[in-house]
Amino acid sequence: MTSQTMKSPTELCPVCVGDGQIEYEITKRQTFGRDIGYIDTEWDDCYQCEGTGEVPIADYLLTSKE
């Protein structure tokens, strides 16, 4: 007999919409080597789903505790 692990039900992450990554703004300040400051963007793993693109369904977590 083999043991099967059941995965909790998940849904798409509402923050990254399932991509697993989000784009955020970084301000680049004026320095001696740069005459003006500007806003740049970078990509990073989503903070809500930790890069998986899925989050557990909240209703399942509330009703599954017995």
| Number of domains forming the structure of the chain | 1
DSSP E strands, 1-66: 10-12, 21-28, 38-45, 54-56
On whether residue 3 sits in a domain, the answer given is no
- List pLDDT tens digits, range 30-64: 888 888 889 999 999 999 898 999 888 875 555 54
Q: What is the pTM of this model?
A: 0.58
* Residue 11 vs residue 1, higher pLDDT: 11
On whether residue 11 sits in a domain, the answer given is no
On whether residue 8 sits in a domain, the answer given is no
| CA atoms of 31 and 22, how far apart (whole Å) | 28
pLDDT for the residue 4: 57
* Residue 21 vs residue 34, higher pLDDT: 21
Domain of residue 46 covers 19-63
